[in-house]
Amino acid sequence: MYILKMLSEKPMYAYEIKRALKERFGFTVATITVYMVLYKMTREGLVEKVPVEGDSRRQYYKSTERGLDTLREGLKFLEKTLRTLSLS
């Protein structure tokens, strides 16, 4: 879900995603794992490859409308779960 969040903000390539995950969560994700997630998300229509002018060497990805809908639903689910777990 965090990858969908990042890709909803701007197109990114796999190594950029890997680096952002390390910075945010403090552990290294294998590059192949990032590619596998992107592949599956592409097949499910959650993200798509996009051309970026001036950088033809990398494959950039961005969230699709379906991906944005999935992200919104996931965030609603997390908010509901957190309210359920709240001690107040």
What residue ranges do the domains of the chain occupy? 2-85
pTM: 0.85
Query: Thinking of the domain 2-85, which architecture would CATH place it in?
Result: Orthogonal Bundle (1.10)
Give whole-number Cα distances, 80 to 6, 24, 28, 71, 74, in Å: 22, 23, 29, 14, 10
The pLDDT of residue 54: 81
pLDDT in tens, 16-73: 999 999 999 999 999 999 999 999 999 999 999 998 888 778 899 999 999 999 999 9
Q: Which residue has the higher pLDDT, 57 or 77?
A: 77
